[in-house]
Structure 1
Amino acid sequence: MEEIISINNNRNNFNSESVTNNNNIENNNIENNNIENNNIENNNIENNNNNNINLENLSSSSSLELYNNYNNNINNSLTNLNSSLIANNIGVQVIFENISYKTENRNYKKQLKDEKKRKKKLGMERSDPTDPNPSYDVESSTPSIQTPQSRSSIIPKNSLNISKIDQSVNPQIMTNNGKIEKEITILSNVSGIIEKGEMVGLFGPSGSGKSTLLDILANRKSTGTITGKILVNGKEIGDAYKKYCSYVTQEEILLQTSTVEETLKFHADLRLPGSNEQEKWKIVEQVIKDIGLTKKAKSKIGGILPGGMMVKGLSGGEKKRVSIGCALVTNPSLVFLDEPTSGLDSLNALKVMKVLMNLTVTKGVTVICSIHQPRPEIYHLFNKIMIILKGRMIYCGNDVLNYFSSLPNQYQCPIHTNPADFILDTCHEISESDHCEEISESWETNWRDNMLAVSRIQPFNRSIEPSKTCSLLYQYKILVKRNFKDFFRNSSAYVTRLSGGFMIGLLFSACFGTLSSSQEDVLKISGILFFLIAVLNLIPFTCITLFISNREIFNSERASKIYHSLPFYLSSITTEAFIQFLVSLIVSILVYSINHLRWNFSSFFITYFILYLINLLSDLYIIAISNITGKSDLTFIYGTTISITFLLFMGHLVPVKQLPKSFGWIHWINPLYYGYATVMVSQFKDYPLECPSDFCQFPNGNDVLKFYGLEDWTISKGIGILIVWICFFFVSGYWAISKLNKEKR
C-alpha cells in the first residue's frame, strides 16, 4: 500500500512542480488560492526520482479497494488543481473540431445486386425503386475534405477534450432493419477529457473502436468520414501538432542492424532540426535512460534480415521500449499507443507500462493507450479509464467499479478478480443485454453538461513557433548514412550480391574460354554479351524481399512524418547504384581479362558502362514493380514476365530483321535491346576478323552488325535511350512509393 501511495505522491509532486514552474513563467502569484492548500511550494521534483514504482505486490482485494478510494481522492485533488490553473489562465486544453472526410462505399451497388438475388431466390418481393420510400438508399456520396480554418500552433503539456467524434467507414454488412447502408458508424458521440500528466487506459472488446479512436486523436485516420471537434489549448491543430504528438504502433518496425542509440539518434536528427549535434546526443542519452535501456544502448535491434540471416538483438519488450523512445525524442505532450503490451509476456508488459507511468509522473506527458486484458499491476497504473462499447463511450473516469455497480444490473466485481477482466466481461454482458443503448445514452446525457462547462473555459493563449522540418538535402544525407551502415552490416545482402557477381564472371570465363578474332568465335562473343546482359538483368530479383522490407520501414516512418518520400527514395537508389557499380565492375573485369574481348580502353569502358546501366535499369524497374504491388510474390511474377519478354526480343536469339511483323515492334520498347545493340557495336564496329578458309561469312565486324540489323546503330544513341529508360523507371518508382500502397488506417 505504501508503494501505491508513493505513486500518487509522485503525481501530486509533478503537478505541483508544474504549477510552480508555470507561475514563474507567467509571473502569476497564486499563493492564496487552492494551490497553496496543496502545499505546492513545498514539493520538490527531486522526490520523484527517489520514488520507485513497484506494484508487484498489488494483488489482494483489500489493497485494490483501498487503492481505488485513495486514487479517487487524489484525482479529485488533481481536478481542483487543474481548475485553479485554468482560472489563472495558465492551463492548457486540446480540442479537435469539425474534421470531416467522407469516402464512398465501393461495394454498395454490388451489395444491392447481391441482396436482390438473395431475395429473389427466397421468393421475397423487393421494394419498387421508384417508391418514394425505397428500401435502399441509392444516392451516391460525395467525398469532401474540410480543412481546419485555424492553423494555430499548440502548447505542449496539455489536457485533451474530445467532443462527439463520429467515425464512419465503408460497410460490408447490413443494418439491423434490413437496409444496406452506404456507411456504418464505428464511433458515435464519443466524448471525454484527458488531463495533463494522466495515463489513460482505453478499454473495450475487440472491434469496439479503440484503435479507431486513437487514430483520430493522433490525427492519423486516413479513411472514412470523421466529424466532431477536438481542440488543443482551445485552438485547432496546426503544423506544430506533429511536434507535440507522438504515436506508437502495435508492431515494432525497426531497422534490425541499427543499435538502440543509432535508432534514437536517427529520429533526433530528422525530428529536431533546431538542435545542434551535442543537444541531440544529450536528448538521446536521456531518452535511453527514461526507457531503461542504458546497458543496451550499443546493442543492435536484431531480428531476421531480408534474406533469412538472423541478427541477435533485443527482446520483444526492449524493442517496444525502443519504439516508445523514438516517440519521445521530440519531448511530446501526448503519446498515443496502440496495445503496447500486445505480444509481450507479463513481465515485459509491466516493464513497458512502468516506463510510460514514469513519463507521466516525472515529465507530465499525457499517455493514452488502448489495451487488452492487462494484469492487475498494469491496470492500477492507469489513473483514468475510458471504455468503448459498440462504438460508443460508456464510461470515462477513475471509479469504474463503483460505476458498474450503480448500473441497473448492479455489476459487482468479485473478490480476487482482475478488474480489467471484469470490465471486459461486463462489457460483453452489457452488449448482449437490453440495457446497452440505455447505458450509452445515459452516459452521454450526463456528460453533456460537463462538456458545456468545459466549453466556457477560456483558452490559454501563448504563441508557439511553427514546427520546423529538416531540408530535403539534410534528410537525404541522414538516410544515405543509415542505408550504407545497414548495407555493410547485412552480410547476406552485400556478400551474396558481390560474391554472386564474382561467381558469374568466373563461370562465364570457364564456359567461353579465351576468345579470339576468328570466325568461329563471333557467335561466342555475341553469346557472351547476350548472357551478360541477361544475368545482370536477373540479379535484382534476389533483392525483392529487401525492397519490400524497406518499403515497410518507409511506410511506418512516413506515417510519423519524419521525412519526405523523395529523400528516402533517392537514398535507396543511391545505395543500389553503388552496389550495382561494384557488381558490374567485378563482372566486366573478369570477363574482359579472361575471355579476351576487344581489348582497348574505350571498348572496355563502353561495355562496362552499358552493363552498369542495364544492371541499374533492371534494379529500378524491380523497385518500381515492388512499390506498385507492395508484395514480393506479385513482384516476382510481374518482374519475371517482363524480363523474359525483354530477353526474347533483345535481338540475339532472333535477329531484329527476322522477327515476325506482328511482334517485331516489341523490340522498340525493350530497353535491353538498346543495351545489347550498343555493346555489340562497341565490340564489332570496324573490327577485323580472321578468315581461316576461302569462305568467310563475316570478313569484318561490320558484317556481323549487318547480320543483326545494327549497321546504322551508334553508341551515343544507345546510351541516350538507356538513360531515358532509367529516368522513366526512376520516376515510375517514385510515383508508386509516394502515391500507392500508403498505410491506410
Structure 2
Amino acid sequence: MKTNGVVNGAFETTRLDVPRTEDENVSILWKNIHYKVNDWSSFTNNKKVILHSVSGYFKSGTLNAILGSSGTGKTTLLNILSGSQGCSSGGGRLAANSKIYVQPKWATSYFIAQHVHENLIGELTIRTILQYAFAFKNGSSARRLAASHIAQTMSTLLLPEKLLDQPFCRCSGGEQRRIAIAQELMALTAPNFLFLDEPTTGLDSVSAYETMRCLQQLAKRQHITVISSIHAPNQETLFLFDQLYVLAKSLDGGVCIFTGPPSYIRPFLESNLPTAITDTKSPPIETLIKIACNGNGKLTK
C-alpha cells in the first residue's frame, strides 16, 4: 500500500494514496503502535509497555470493535487512534516509529467517553440539550435548520420524538447513551470518525444491542468510520460489527491476536487451535477472549 508521507509519533494526519482496489475504502491505518508508561510500582522509574507494536486498519462506513480483557490496552489504543492521547502525555510515550495514516487528510472526528452521559444535566429536556449542542457546533446562523437536524438524528438513533420534551434523568440507560451520541452529532457536517469508549458498559443485552445497531446504521448511512472499544458483547451484538480487532495480554504488553469479521473467528480458531473450538460449547468469541487472557499473547489453551 503506497502512502503519501509518513508521520513519526502519529497524530498528524497524512493522506493514504490507496490504489484503486478493495483497499480504496481504508480510512485509518496504523503501524507499530508501541506505547509505554512510567511504572512506579517498585519505586523505580521503569517503563511498562501497554501496547506492543500493534498494526491494523479500518474502512470507511463500517462499525468496528476493539476487544480484549481488562488491561490489554483497548482504551489506550482508542485514545491514540483518536488523537486524544498524545505521543508524550500522562507519563506515557509513543515509540518514534509508530505511525498512523488517515484518509481524508483533513478528517474530523468525535470522541465519546464511557461516562459522558453522566455529565449531562438531568433536569434539562432532550430538546434543550440538543438545541444547545446544535447552537454550539453550528452557530446562530444555522438556527432554522436545528429542528429538522435534531429530528433526523433522533430517527437515526432510534429515539422516539416524544422523548424530546422529557427530562434526561427520566430516560432509560440505553436512551441516555444514545442521547449522548446524538449530542455529538449535532454538527450539520457529519464527522469522518466516531470513537466510543465502551458505550455498552452497564447496559442490559437488549439495550446494548439497540445502541450498537444504531451505530451500525449511522456508519452505513453517513459513511462514518465508527470505532468502539467493547468488553464482552453477546453473539447477536458481536455480529453487528464489520471488523473486530482483538487484543491479548502478553509479557511485553498488549498484542493483536485476531482481526477480521466476526464470522472469521471460528475458522481462525479451527485452523490455529482446533482443540479449543471442539472442546467447548461456548461461542467462538468467548473462546478467543479466554485465550487472550492467558497472559502470553499466543494462541494456546
Counterparts of 1:233 and 1:212 in 2: how far apart (Å)?
A: 21
Per the alignment, residue 22 of structure 2 pairs with none
Q: CA, structure 1 residues 268+165, in 2 after alignment: closer, same or farther (shift >3 Å)?
A: same
Q: CA, structure 1 residues 389+256, in 2 after alignment: closer, same or farther (shift >3 Å)?
A: same
Give 1:372's aligned amino acid. Answer: H
> Are the equivalent residues in 2 in contact too, given 1:94–1:230 (CA < 8 A)?
no
Q: Does 1:264 align with 2:130?
A: yes
Runs of 4+ in 1 over 6 A off after TM superposition: 93-96
Written as runs of structure 1 = structure 2, the 5 A alignment for 1:208-287 is 208-221=72-85, 222-223=89-90, 224-227=92-95, 228-233=98-103, 235=105, 241=107, 244-251=108-115, 252=117, 253-273=119-139, 276-287=142-153
Per the alignment, residue 344 of structure 1 pairs with 203
Per the alignment, residue 704 of structure 1 pairs with none
| TM-score of the superposed pair, with normalisation by structure 1 | 0.34
Written as runs of structure 1 = structure 2, the 5 A alignment for 1:20-31 is none
Per the alignment, residue 397 of structure 1 pairs with 260
Deviations 1:426-480 (A, max 9, x none): 2124x25xxx35x69xxxxxxxxxxxxxxxxxxxxxxxxxxxxxxxxxxxxxxxx
Q: Does 1:422 align with 2:287?
A: yes
Counterparts of 1:332 and 1:349 in 2: how far apart (Å)?
A: 23
> Are the equivalent residues in 1 in contact too, given 2:14–2:101 (CA < 8 A)?
no
Per the alignment, residue 116 of structure 1 pairs with none
Q: Which has the higher contact order (CA 8 A, sep 6+)?
A: 2
> Are the equivalent residues in 2 in contact too, given 1:94–1:160 (CA < 8 A)?
no
**Counterpart pick for 2:217 among 358, 361, 366:** 358
> Are the equivalent residues in 2 in contact too, given 1:95–1:229 (CA < 8 A)?
no
Give the number of the structure whose residues are more often strand, by fraction.
2
SS of 1:256's partner is: coil
Give 2:145's aligned amino acid. Answer: E
Q: CA, structure 1 residues 98+273, in 2 after alignment: closer, same or farther (shift >3 Å)?
A: farther
Per the alignment, residue 165 of structure 2 pairs with 298
> Are the equivalent residues in 2 in contact too, given 1:95–1:234 (CA < 8 A)?
no
SS of 1:424's partner is: helix
Q: CA, structure 1 residues 383+255, in 2 after alignment: closer, same or farther (shift >3 Å)?
A: same
Deviations 1:331-362 (A, max 9, x none): 21211111111011111111111111111222
Per the alignment, residue 104 of structure 1 pairs with none
Q: CA, structure 1 residues 219+314, in 2 after alignment: closer, same or farther (shift >3 Å)?
A: same
Give 1:321's aligned amino acid. Answer: R
Deviations 1:654-704 (A, max 9, x none): xxxxxxxxxxxxxxxxxxxxxxxxxxxxxxxxxxxxxxxxxxxxxxxxxxx
> Are the equivalent residues in 2 in contact too, given 1:386–1:396 (CA < 8 A)?
yes
Counterparts of 1:266 and 1:413 in 2: how far apart (Å)?
A: 54
Give 2:287's aligned amino acid. Answer: F
> Are the equivalent residues in 2 in contact too, given 1:95–1:233 (CA < 8 A)?
no
Per the alignment, residue 174 of structure 2 pairs with 317
Q: CA, structure 1 residues 166+286, in 2 after alignment: closer, same or farther (shift >3 Å)?
A: same
SS of 1:98's partner is: coil
> Are the equivalent residues in 2 in contact too, given 1:164–1:189 (CA < 8 A)?
yes
Q: Does 1:187 align with 2:51?
A: yes
Counterparts of 2:199 and 2:60 in 1: how far apart (Å)?
A: 20
Shift of 1:188: 1.5
| TM-score of the superposed pair, with normalisation by structure 2 | 0.81
Q: CA, structure 1 residues 367+360, in 2 after alignment: closer, same or farther (shift >3 Å)?
A: same
SS of 1:374's partner is: coil
Per the alignment, residue 197 of structure 1 pairs with 61
Per the alignment, residue 335 of structure 1 pairs with 194
> Are the equivalent residues in 2 in contact too, given 1:94–1:161 (CA < 8 A)?
no
Q: CA, structure 1 residues 257+96, in 2 after alignment: closer, same or farther (shift >3 Å)?
A: farther
Per the alignment, residue 276 of structure 2 pairs with 411
Give 2:53's aligned amino acid. Answer: N
> Are the equivalent residues in 1 in contact too, given 2:14–2:103 (CA < 8 A)?
no
Give 2:192's aligned amino acid. Answer: S
Q: CA, structure 1 residues 289+413, in 2 after alignment: closer, same or farther (shift >3 Å)?
A: farther
> Are the equivalent residues in 1 in contact too, given 2:8–2:99 (CA < 8 A)?
yes
Counterparts of 2:4 and 2:146 in 1: how far apart (Å)?
A: 28
Written as runs of structure 1 = structure 2, the 5 A alignment for 1:428-507 is 428-429=293-294, 431=295, 436=297
SS of 2:277's partner is: coil
Counterparts of 2:5 and 2:140 in 1: how far apart (Å)?
A: 27
Per the alignment, residue 20 of structure 2 pairs with none
Counterparts of 1:425 and 1:363 in 2: how far apart (Å)?
A: 35
Q: CA, structure 1 residues 408+417, in 2 after alignment: closer, same or farther (shift >3 Å)?
A: closer
Counterparts of 1:375 and 1:269 in 2: how far apart (Å)?
A: 38
Counterparts of 1:193 and 1:231 in 2: how far apart (Å)?
A: 9
Written as runs of structure 1 = structure 2, the 5 A alignment for 1:304-703 is 313-330=170-187, 331-390=190-249, 391-398=254-261, 399-407=264-272, 410-412=275-277, 417-429=282-294, 431=295, 436=297
Counterparts of 2:124 and 2:147 in 1: how far apart (Å)?
A: 16
Per the alignment, residue 164 of structure 1 pairs with 32
Q: Name structure 1 gaps, 5 residues minimum.
A: 1-82, 87-92, 101-146, 303-312, 441-745
> Are the equivalent residues in 2 in contact too, given 1:341–1:349 (CA < 8 A)?
yes
Shift of 1:180: 5.1
Q: CA, structure 1 residues 337+267, in 2 after alignment: closer, same or farther (shift >3 Å)?
A: same
RMSD between aligned residues: 3.0
> Are the equivalent residues in 2 in contact too, given 1:94–1:159 (CA < 8 A)?
no
Work out which of the two has the higher radius of gyration on C-alpha atoms and give 1 or 2.
1
Per the alignment, residue 57 of structure 1 pairs with none
Deviations 1:394-427 (A, max 9, x none): 2211212222222256531667533332221121
Counterparts of 1:230 and 1:96 in 2: how far apart (Å)?
A: 8
Give 2:8's aligned amino acid. Answer: N
Give 1:317's aligned amino acid. Answer: G
Counterparts of 1:402 and 1:95 in 2: how far apart (Å)?
A: 37
> Are the equivalent residues in 1 in contact too, given 2:194–2:225 (CA < 8 A)?
yes
Counterparts of 2:221 and 2:50 in 1: how far apart (Å)?
A: 36
SS of 1:412's partner is: helix
Q: CA, structure 1 residues 350+151, in 2 after alignment: closer, same or farther (shift >3 Å)?
A: closer
Q: CA, structure 1 residues 226+408, in 2 after alignment: closer, same or farther (shift >3 Å)?
A: same
SS of 1:386's partner is: strand
Give 1:269's aligned amino acid. Answer: A
Shift of 1:282: 2.3
Shift of 1:182: 2.8
Shift of 1:229: 1.4
Q: Name structure 2 gaps, 5 residues minimum.
A: 16-24
SS of 2:60's partner is: coil
> Are the equivalent residues in 2 in contact too, given 1:218–1:336 (CA < 8 A)?
yes
SS of 1:183's partner is: strand
Shift of 1:296: 0.7
